[in-house]
Structure 1
Amino acid sequence: MSFTSPHLFRLLAGLLLLAASALTLATEPTTLSPQVAAVRDRWAEVNYNTPKPQREAAFEALVKQAAAARAMRPKDASALIWEGIVLSSTAGERGGLGALGLVKQARKNFEQALAIDPDALDGSAYTSLGALYYQVPGWPVGFGNDDKARELLRKGLQANPEGIDANYFYGDFLRDQGDWTGAAAALEKALAAPPRPGRELADQGRRSEASVLLAKVRTHLASD
């Protein structure tokens, strides 16, 4: 998805993933439940169409909706992922140390999802968790870790190499690391990603974010 400073908690606002036993995989749904789909669609509306002054309250209401969807299917990796995304986005709006509890719960959600099905939602949990690791402060304030972020983001790309979110967050991470050329390549790939049926608003919003970030990266490269 977008904590107090843009770097501390600009946060992911939109992505998904996870890992499991053969028995669990056999019983996992291959499509989103109506409740989880409703959370996904509402997330896009709040994240991209809700005015800034109303956004935190809207996300807090969505936290409750996402928790209810997850409670209905506690072993559904997609429900865990989307609850984690909503928690992360809410933390991004709240900002500061008060957001740390939310991102810690989001991390737990993504880890649980990975333990159930690492391929859920095209491996987005890797991307979502990786984004947390580079956006959250490191010890002693938080759990941020750039090495873990790189590993997880690369796994997200392996699972979904053409995905808009996987490439966007990897590009943002590389920019954060000072790899401007790599960031430009990843962001260009994000902008060329195929559309996701039923996710037109999320795609439009993410493309806009990628375009803005790519322009900043290109400006930096041109000044070198």
Structure 2
Amino acid sequence: MTLSRLLTLCLFTLLPLTSLADDTTLSTLQQRWAEINYQVPARQRAEAFEKLAAQASTAVQAEPGSAELRIWHGIILSTWAGAKGGLGALGLVKDARRELERALEINPGALDGSAYTSLGSLYYQVPGWPVGFGDDEKAEQMLQQALMLNPDGIDPNYFYGDFLQRQHRYREAAGALEKALAAPERAGRTVADQGRREEARTLLASVQEKLD
């Protein structure tokens, strides 16, 4: 067997293992994020997210070309910022934005466009200039792009519904939230789905009160 043939065989043997390791790490980050976000007491979340962010950073350093890992690093950073609160969290959301933008550069369709969903949610929740980079117009553009890639997904519909209700567009918000509640279950994401559905039900009830 020639050396080039041997190297080719080795390469194709290693590629599935790398992909499998990447998928396992991603699943671990997703599951731990859901546990912290929905099951850990609020006062303990910031510290837990800090530790998870360090794990995600290590994973990205090991696989810098993985858009999926960068998306989840960005999600964890932004959720950590929300748990931490205050102006001290602004640096974290800026780091999250950079990570999500890098994920879009690598693969805008990764995880059904989740980078668009997460960026959109940052743009409408972060304060605008001169404090932060918040921008409602950009937020809607990002969220609509996410829905083009994943029209029936629970997350893009939930965050678009939240954005719309903050804009006092209650009828549109109700439609988006109802669609979020009707979204199909995601394999391996039971805790996250249950938590997001509860958030969607609570927000929909508030929106419907405003419509009555």
Indicate whether the TM-score tops 0.5. yes
The match for 1:50 is 40
The partner residue of 2:201 within 202, 205, 211 is 211
2:182 maps to amino acid:
A
Matched, 1:102 2:88: no
2:91 maps to amino acid:
G
1:77 maps to amino acid:
A
Question: Where do residues 2-151 of structure 1 align in structure 2 (5 Å cutoff)?
Answer: 32-151=22-141
d(CA) in 1 for partners of 2:185, 2:23:
21
**TM-score normalised by length of structure 1:** 0.85
Displacement of 1:54 in angstroms is: 1.1
Decide which structure has greater helix share.
2
Pick 1 or 2: higher relative contact order, CA cutoff 8 A, min separation 6.
1
SS of 2:78's equivalent?
helix
Given that 1:153 and 1:169 are in contact with CA atoms closer than 8 Å, whether structure 2 keeps it comes out as yes
Displacement of 1:55 in angstroms is: 1.1
Given that 1:78 and 1:120 are in contact with CA atoms closer than 8 Å, whether structure 2 keeps it comes out as yes
Give structure 2 stretches of 5+ with no counterpart: 1-17
2:188 maps to amino acid:
G
1:188 maps to amino acid:
E
2:143 maps to amino acid:
L
**TM-score normalised by length of structure 2:** 0.90
| Matched residues, number | 195
Displacement of 1:30 in angstroms is: 9.6
SS of 2:34's equivalent?
helix
Q: Given the superposition, is the C-alpha separation of residues 143 and 86 from structure 1 closer, same or farther in structure 2, using an over 3 Å criterion?
A: same
d(CA) in 2 for partners of 1:199, 1:72:
24
Report the aligned-residue RMSD: 1.4
d(CA) in 2 for partners of 1:46, 1:211:
20
The match for 2:187 is 197
Displacement of 1:77 in angstroms is: 0.1
2:101 maps to amino acid:
E
Q: Given the superposition, is the C-alpha separation of residues 89 and 199 from structure 1 closer, same or farther in structure 2, using an over 3 Å criterion?
A: same
The match for 1:171 is 161
Displacement of 1:37 in angstroms is: 1.6
Displacement of 1:36 in angstroms is: 2.0
Runs of 4+ residues deviating >6 angstroms: none
1:47 maps to amino acid:
N
Give structure 1 stretches of 5+ with no counterpart: 1-27
Aligned residues: percent identity?
58
Q: Given the superposition, is the C-alpha separation of residues 30 and 159 from structure 1 closer, same or farther in structure 2, using an over 3 Å criterion?
A: farther
Question: Where do residues 149-164 of structure 1 align in structure 2 (5 Å cutoff)?
Answer: 149-164=139-154
d(CA) in 1 for partners of 2:104, 2:79:
20
